[in-house]
Structure 1
Amino acid sequence: MKKFELLAASAIALIAAVPATAQTAPAAPAPAAAADVQDDTAGPDNDIVITATKRATTLQDTPISVSVTTSESIERAQVRDLLDLQTLVPSLKVGQLQSSANTNFIIRGFGNGANNIGIEPSVAVFIDGVYRSRSSAQISDLPNIQRVEVLRGPQSTLFGKNASAGVISIVTEVPKFEFGGSAEASYGNYNAVVLKGDITGPITKTVAFSLAGNYNRRDGYANYVNLGIKGNNRNRYGFRGQLLFEPSSDFKIRLIGDYDRINEICCTVANLFDGPTGAAVRGVGGQVNSNQRFSYDSYANFPSVTKIDNYGFSGQIDYSVTPQLALTSISSYRRVKTYTNADSDFTSADLIGSNALTTKVDTYTQELRLASSFDGPINFLIGGFYFKEDIKSDGQLTFGNNFKAYANLLTRSAAFPTGAYSALEPTLRALLGLPASTPATAFGAAGQGRFEHYKYGDEAYSIFGQVDLKPVEGLTFTAGFNYTNDRKKVSTNDSSTDTFSALDLVQAGFNYGVTPVAFGGLGLTPAQATVFASNRGTGGNPFLALQPLQFLPPFLNFPNAVESGKTHDDNLSYTLRAAYKFNRNVNVYASYATGFKASSFNLSYDSRPFATDFIPGSPIQSPAASPIRTAGLALANLTAGTRYAGPEKAQVYEVGLKGNFEGFGINVALFKQILKGFQSNVFQGTGFVLANAEQQSTKGAEIDATMSPTKNLTFTASLTYLDPVYDKFTGGSSFNPATNTVVPTNLTGATPSGISKYSIAVGGTYTVPFGNDKAVILHVDYAHDSAFKIAQGLPYKASPESLNASVSLQVLKGLELSVWGRNLTEPKYNPVIFPGVAQSGTLSAYPSPPRTYGVDARFKF
């Protein structure tokens, strides 16, 4: 039997789940005013108290599909950041792409948001109740985490912004009114050093504080062979300070300030398939680690760098208006500054001189809500959320010193032995009436390229609420709503200095065919003129073969006379749910919910007018009128595409069961989730194309549980089954396997790439006490995804897995020493495949991470 089948059988036999997804007994809900401040309390028998529904309730009494990973589980599994969290929550997938600033969160197969600053994620991330709108603000190594809640499915009725696929809610410890803290130091292979520490205590009888810090440094495990530099390293640190004012039990203020810094070389790219352009790369002296899809050795002119400064402030006020009514206010300001630069041809040839991007994101949020805790049959929560965001983004992609020679090698023929790219320059300039070239304007000159400048503004508000009705004991009906109004505006100031990409080759061919000019005046030799005359005689255009090299054409900026650069969306989402508590051990629920995410702009050079605004092609090809042509805005080589993707609208049908017994707990959810207008963002070699899939759906099941045969032994596991399909996606794209290039494709009926049908996570912790306050703690966890197709249209598949283990010695109260290892089986797979930049037919890929291990010392006081 295959390894996966054995593990799946084990998971089903255990009927197990991720840590802390089931408990042993329910606890009474905390007062509404405590929902976000003193939410770390636990009920009888160590029930986990969560705030997934914006109230402090036990996990057992929360009738939604939610997984909770506690701080203890995070410590035992040596989870370093959110990338590692997916090994404990199989319905959550986290992918890091070309830089540390590009991280994508996916729940139940739905999620996007990386690689394009104009796209907000479908999976919303909240840290201590504050929405983090971009992935670069979500990946910090937060110290002093209390728990991580993963809410599956649309959550728009309780979260104010863009939760169409799910929510990740990270909760950190609240300052305490007694002194305490912790310190942790870890050392591992690749000279990995991780330091964390926090301290908390009272300042006065009504004011408490906490200070926390983290440092994470590791040598790179990848090699830039020709540069002698390591890649894929870790170099990040952060600080976090909190003040808690509690003048009375009815009034609390929590202030938080934090700063994180990342300065890393990331991320190494492997050559999966060395395509037909590989010979030209080597012809200009470039080196490629050919066809080594799992290798950490690569070549480049300079290492890919990522720098992120992420900081912000938030204030939360909790006030009990009456013993049964609690008012909560959360205000925040955040700024994220990122700088990335990559040698995006991923070879030692200097084809791409730079691919740099600098982005500044300023975000303001305000949430206000009122919650009741009546003894009667009706309770409610109502709130409002305001969001304002301003983004400035400046980027460039320029040619390197070898690009011109590379282009000439690609265009060599018997008629043009030195390459048609440069040899035809005098001809094309003469036919199109252009001045003679200078060194700076010659075809393919180093430093030519595209230069991007974007300004983006988003202002949104939402009103949300929920009512619970308990007509009889044990039965609860819930109805919730969220009305969202979202307005975005964008302005661009992009340009291209690539002389060749601005040429109208169709017009040049037409002029050559109708205007007899002596070949000497066109810069052609007699032999070349003969070839061209023959081609012209058959009605062909001898210049069209050069069009693939025109990948940096002029950009039509907007707003303009036709395009406003604005979107305005509004939507009413709602939730209907019935939950019944048979007894203190068993709850069931059934729900129908909808969700919403507003339109997203394509803030990249591949932002193009909609087909309804523009008919692409040369005027002699497309003489028909279109709004952009009528307004006189048409540019050479301008094509149609999308400026933005319309809204996503989600709906989910779900039934669930939560069982909680002595020594055993189980959560089961069956669902069908539908996303209409899914915002697809596909890389096509030089940029990303944003499009809406008309409808994507997933049927699935989740089984989560824990089992404790004895007080010192706990087994955990989970099983997620997903059956996704593009119900309708006429404007999709996929790889053409014959050419390894991305082409438009009707994906209706296809299975989306990157999604496993089965995902499991199993684990166990065994504590062997001896002496006073001494114990040996053994922990192991294993996660596995069934094989999935990595990229649409290609045969390559991946089957990620992760085996992690630790042995800890508790030598005295509060002090623990550990030996740990992560990714011990070191599986080989490629999480992402993409076309080579400026190398048609080449495929690039990210290799899976290596094995890591080390020692750790932790002290809590």
Structure 2
Amino acid sequence: MKVTHRLLLSSCVAALGIAAPAAAQSTDAAAEDRSASSNAIVVTATRREQTLQEVPVAVSVVSGELLDNSGVSGVDQISQAVPSVTFTQGNNENNSSLNIRGIGTNVFSSGVEPSVSIVFDDVVMARAGQGFQDFIDVQRIEVLRGPQSTLFGKNASAGVVSVTTKDATDYLSGEFDAMYAEGNEYQVRGSVSGPITEGVAARVSGFYKQFDGMSDNLFNGDTYNGYEAWGVRGKVQIEATDNFSLEFIGDYRNSVSTPTFVLAKVLNPTVAEVNKPLEIDLTNTDVNVNTPPRSDSEQWGAQMNAEYLFGNDFVLNSTTAVRSYDFQNNIDVDATPALAPPADRSYFLWDLNKGTNNLTQYSQELRLESPDLGGFDFLIGAFAYHVDLDSTFQRRWVQRNAAGNVVPRSGQFSSNNKTTNLAAFVSGNVYLGDLNLFGGLRVLHEKLEWSVLRDPADVVVTGDIALPGAAGQAADFSGSASDTAVTGNIGARYDFGAGNVYASYARGYKGAGVNTAFASLEGTEPVEPETVDAFEVGAKVSTWDDVFSVNLALFYTQYQNYQAQAQRPNDITFELANAGEISTKGVEIETVFQPSKLTTFRLGATYMDAKIDEFPGGPCYSGQTEAQGCVNDAQDLSGADLPNAPEFRLTGFARQTVPFGDSSPVDGFVQGNFSYQSSVQFALDQNPLARLDDYWLVNASIGIESKDDNYSISLFVRNLFDQNLPQALSYSTAGGGRLTAQTWRNQERYFGLQGRFSF
């Protein structure tokens, strides 16, 4: 039965936890014995169930157990466990992004998709904000590095983060854990699973978490950069017949948070003076603002998975899904407590910067998977996808004119973006003894539609006047663009007993995007689709019992028409552009060493060189002179660093169980994990103020657990060495020029207690 089959796979995955790059299916008996070993990790990176060491794709796997042990509780923290991933935190979840191998998409426009696709239980999230979910009941996470457009198709030009949640059990079981930490942070999670009737099993899970925050507001004593969130997920799995099974999944999540940037450097002395006694530097975590920040989101999803076995083990899979995502936020952009604009006109009040997103998406995928047909197999499929996204925005400034009079300006706009994607794909393997040839092809057609409405008379407050520039001009227009593209991959893998080597080429694609932002005007043209050529060679070596494994990947990837966002000097608006050609190349290595059941070591390292190869008309940074390369507000960015693409990243995990003797019902354990990254540049325009130094993050815990693994309790510390650096930096000309930073929970050292119980 399918439920039992999945339980066996889940047990195999949970046995090991994290692993590393990967590679395709083998037909010899030795490979089958190997995949049946107790430490084998099953993945679905090629949309088939295979062991990690077989799949010819660079993929990192993190188990739910390792996520818990490492303190990784959401997608935004996955970089702490996977060295090829970085996270760029914005002032809300929609302005945040993941990078893989230095490539990601961080833009404000709702008409642009992310380069890194986040997938939950085979359903792609249309926008990054949907994907930054909390981890509840996670079986494993697969991070596929490099373009995955052939099989995952949608917005996967840089890679995929695929989250698989736990299946229902055919016996009564449950898992519960709770955590409390300094700062009045706590979290409770739980799940119950079991049979309903013959052939029907269900699993229900949920979580609640809250954190007061870490940014004190000097203006009113409130605390920001905190959150309160809760969510539930339910699964019902039905074995209708021996050949046919159904799975229904529903989830709901609600989040209320107070994310806001903090000041790291101020160039305007008036702004610095009004913010006293705030200590403004890179270690600052506090604010002094008169308008509370707010960021609320609500989302739900429903899906049905069907599986039918026929013929000689042919498998037909169907995934039907609908998702809804509603979001709203506001932030005090001027970052001051001022209630009136200053007499010297050195800055204006900007307390209202509010937006909403209402997104609905539908998707349908069919896949037909063949068995081994005598030296070859195949997988064919079709994919249909539609997204409808409504956005609104309000902005209000209060400033003084030359005569010293207070002038309030405001405006509103709304936009709609629709994307429809239809695709067909095929992949296959040919087995020639120890040599495996593999490849695939995807043909897609995509249509992008947009509309913008802005009435200058539609001010936020009666008596205001329209905003200056494009933001205050009338706009009532619509447009569309369509494209047909072909992506694919081809490669070979060779087994040599203790391991294998592979080489591959892949063509990636991300559809056109349009800048439906606040200052959009008629005539707005979409940016071109992003295309990718990726070359990779890898090797995987492991001992027969998988006590030790090492996985190596060398990669070179070049992007054409990379979609990026930047700001011209003295312009508060952001432009969306194709940043010419960019490339990323480097080497990745991940190892796992388990000398005994009591000891585990894991280490991952990535060296990469992610650069802009060609962008002659790139934006200058504020204050950049002609001698520094800025001519007519443009500079040649060829050879410049890509944003948030560190040259070197390192992650590691170690755990040692300490036996207390046969007579004791419990054993002790000590464990720790760390991550390191070299310095990074956060600005596409290469503003020297937006460069962040390298830093280490070290976490540790000590505790006891029952010998049957049914309960445990531990004391933990995050950021053991108190590395007080922000998560991201951004320079803005607003307020006369300032550098802002995004704080994060691990920016300061804190202690906590965690307990777990299962049955």
Query: Radius of gyration: which is bigger?
Result: 1
Quick one: which of 115, 125, 150 aligns to 1:157? 150
Separation (CA, whole Å) in 2 of partners of 1:72 and 1:154:
28
The alpha carbon displacement at 1:830 in A equals 3.7
2:548 corresponds in structure 1 to 664
1:7 corresponds in structure 2 to none
2:479 corresponds in structure 1 to 565
2:508 corresponds in structure 1 to 595
Separation (CA, whole Å) in 2 of partners of 1:834 and 1:817:
40
The alpha carbon displacement at 1:825 in A equals 1.9
AA paired with 2:601?
F
Cα deviation code 1:317-374 (max 9, x no counterpart)? 0111223211000010000000101111111124013111111000000001101112
Q: Which moved more, 1:849-858 or 1:379-388?
A: 849-858
Q: 1:722 to 1:734 in 2, by over 3 A?
A: farther
1:681 paired with 2:565, answer yes
1:124 corresponds in structure 2 to 117
1:206 paired with 2:119, answer no
Separation (CA, whole Å) in 1 of partners of 2:489 and 2:207:
39
2:251 corresponds in structure 1 to 258
2:100 corresponds in structure 1 to 107
- The answer to whether the Cα contact below 8 Å between 2:265 and 2:738 also exists between their aligned partners in 1 is yes
Quick one: which of 425, 448, 451 aligns to 1:464? 425
Separation (CA, whole Å) in 1 of partners of 2:415 and 2:23:
54
Cα deviation code 1:591-612 (max 9, x no counterpart)? 0001000001112124346xxx
Q: Match of 2:68, SS?
A: helix
1:851 paired with 2:749, answer yes
**Superposition pairs for residues 457-496 of structure 1, below 5 Å?**
457-470=418-431, 472-496=432-456
Q: Structure 1 stretches (4+) deviating beyond 6 angstroms?
A: 23-29, 739-742
Q: 1:776 to 1:737 in 2, by over 3 A?
A: farther
Separation (CA, whole Å) in 1 of partners of 2:734 and 2:18:
48
1:279 corresponds in structure 2 to 270
Separation (CA, whole Å) in 1 of partners of 2:705 and 2:234:
29
Q: 1:113 to 1:208 in 2, by over 3 A?
A: farther
AA paired with 2:531?
K
Between Structure 1 and Structure 2, the one with more strand by share is 2
- The answer to whether the Cα contact below 8 Å between 1:24 and 1:660 also exists between their aligned partners in 2 is no
Greater RCO between the two (CA within 8 Å, min separation 6)? 1
Count of residue correspondences:
707
Separation (CA, whole Å) in 2 of partners of 1:776 and 1:23:
32
The alpha carbon displacement at 1:261 in A equals 0.5
Quick one: which of 305, 316, 320 aligns to 2:294? 305
2:414 corresponds in structure 1 to 453
Separation (CA, whole Å) in 1 of partners of 2:35 and 2:131:
27
- The answer to whether the Cα contact below 8 Å between 1:302 and 1:342 also exists between their aligned partners in 2 is yes
**Superposition pairs for residues 19-34 of structure 1, below 5 Å?**
20-21=18-19
- The answer to whether the Cα contact below 8 Å between 1:19 and 1:706 also exists between their aligned partners in 2 is no
Quick one: which of 130, 133, 146 aligns to 1:137? 130
Quick one: which of 551, 569, 578 aligns to 2:492? 578
The alpha carbon displacement at 1:482 in A equals 1.1
- The answer to whether the Cα contact below 8 Å between 2:20 and 2:59 also exists between their aligned partners in 1 is no
2:716 corresponds in structure 1 to 820
Q: Match of 1:220, SS?
A: coil
Quick one: which of 89, 93, 98 aligns to 2:86? 93
The alpha carbon displacement at 1:22 in A equals 5.4
1:337 corresponds in structure 2 to 326
AA paired with 1:673?
T
**Superposition pairs for residues 538-553 of structure 1, below 5 Å?**
550=468, 553=471
The alpha carbon displacement at 1:288 in A equals 7.7
Separation (CA, whole Å) in 1 of partners of 2:217 and 2:23:
55
Q: Which moved more, 1:55-64 or 1:735-744?
A: 735-744
Quick one: which of 616, 619, 644 aligns to 1:754? 644
Separation (CA, whole Å) in 1 of partners of 2:539 and 2:267:
52
Q: Which moved more, 1:72-81 or 1:742-751?
A: 742-751
Query: TM-score normalised to the size of structure 2?
Result: 0.89
1:365 corresponds in structure 2 to 363
Q: 1:644 to 1:231 in 2, by over 3 A?
A: same
The alpha carbon displacement at 1:551 in A equals 5.3
**Superposition pairs for residues 509-548 of structure 1, below 5 Å?**
none
The alpha carbon displacement at 1:56 in A equals 0.5
1:270 paired with 2:165, answer no
1:48 paired with 2:32, answer no
Separation (CA, whole Å) in 2 of partners of 1:751 and 1:26:
34
Separation (CA, whole Å) in 2 of partners of 1:847 and 1:193:
19
- The answer to whether the Cα contact below 8 Å between 1:790 and 1:830 also exists between their aligned partners in 2 is no
Quick one: which of 789, 793, 808 aligns to 2:703? 808
The alpha carbon displacement at 1:773 in A equals 4.9
- The answer to whether the Cα contact below 8 Å between 1:677 and 1:694 also exists between their aligned partners in 2 is yes
1:719 paired with 2:710, answer no
Separation (CA, whole Å) in 2 of partners of 1:683 and 1:709:
53
Separation (CA, whole Å) in 2 of partners of 1:833 and 1:733:
18
Q: Match of 1:176, SS?
A: coil
Q: Match of 1:74, SS?
A: helix
The alpha carbon displacement at 1:666 in A equals 0.6
- The answer to whether the Cα contact below 8 Å between 1:675 and 1:695 also exists between their aligned partners in 2 is yes
AA paired with 1:829?
L
Separation (CA, whole Å) in 1 of partners of 2:727 and 2:476:
36
Separation (CA, whole Å) in 2 of partners of 1:445 and 1:149:
53
- The answer to whether the Cα contact below 8 Å between 1:24 and 1:47 also exists between their aligned partners in 2 is no
Q: Could you tell me the percent identity over the aligned residues?
A: 29
Q: 1:177 to 1:743 in 2, by over 3 A?
A: farther
Q: 1:750 to 1:330 in 2, by over 3 A?
A: same
1:644 corresponds in structure 2 to 526
Q: 1:274 to 1:777 in 2, by over 3 A?
A: same
Cα deviation code 1:643-688 (max 9, x no counterpart)? 4321000111100001111421010000101111110022566332
- The answer to whether the Cα contact below 8 Å between 1:25 and 1:660 also exists between their aligned partners in 2 is no
- The answer to whether the Cα contact below 8 Å between 2:24 and 2:436 also exists between their aligned partners in 1 is no
- The answer to whether the Cα contact below 8 Å between 1:259 and 1:311 also exists between their aligned partners in 2 is yes
AA paired with 1:477?
L
1:776 corresponds in structure 2 to 668
Cα deviation code 1:581-627 (max 9, x no counterpart)? 112x2111000001000001112124346xxx6xxxxxxxxxxxxxx
Quick one: which of 498, 520, 531 aligns to 1:607? 520
Q: Match of 2:490, SS?
A: strand
The alpha carbon displacement at 1:852 in A equals 3.1
**What residue ranges of structure 1 are gaps of 5+ in the alignment?**
1-17, 30-40, 409-419, 424-442, 500-548, 614-641
The alpha carbon displacement at 1:469 in A equals 0.8
AA paired with 1:76?
N
The alpha carbon displacement at 1:444 in A equals 5.5
Q: 1:713 to 1:23 in 2, by over 3 A?
A: farther
Quick one: which of 549, 555, 559 aligns to 2:473? 555
Cα deviation code 1:720-756 (max 9, x no counterpart)? 0101221111232242445999953221122223211
Cα deviation code 1:444-473 (max 9, x no counterpart)? 633x21211101111111111102111x21
Q: CA RMSD in A?
A: 2.6
2:372 corresponds in structure 1 to 374
Q: 1:113 to 1:650 in 2, by over 3 A?
A: same
- The answer to whether the Cα contact below 8 Å between 1:270 and 1:297 also exists between their aligned partners in 2 is yes
The alpha carbon displacement at 1:121 in A equals 0.5
Quick one: which of 769, 782, 786 aligns to 2:678? 786
Separation (CA, whole Å) in 1 of partners of 2:520 and 2:389:
17
Q: 1:152 to 1:26 in 2, by over 3 A?
A: closer
Separation (CA, whole Å) in 1 of partners of 2:575 and 2:202:
47
- The answer to whether the Cα contact below 8 Å between 1:294 and 1:847 also exists between their aligned partners in 2 is no
Query: TM-score normalised to the size of structure 1?
Result: 0.78
Q: Match of 2:736, SS?
A: coil
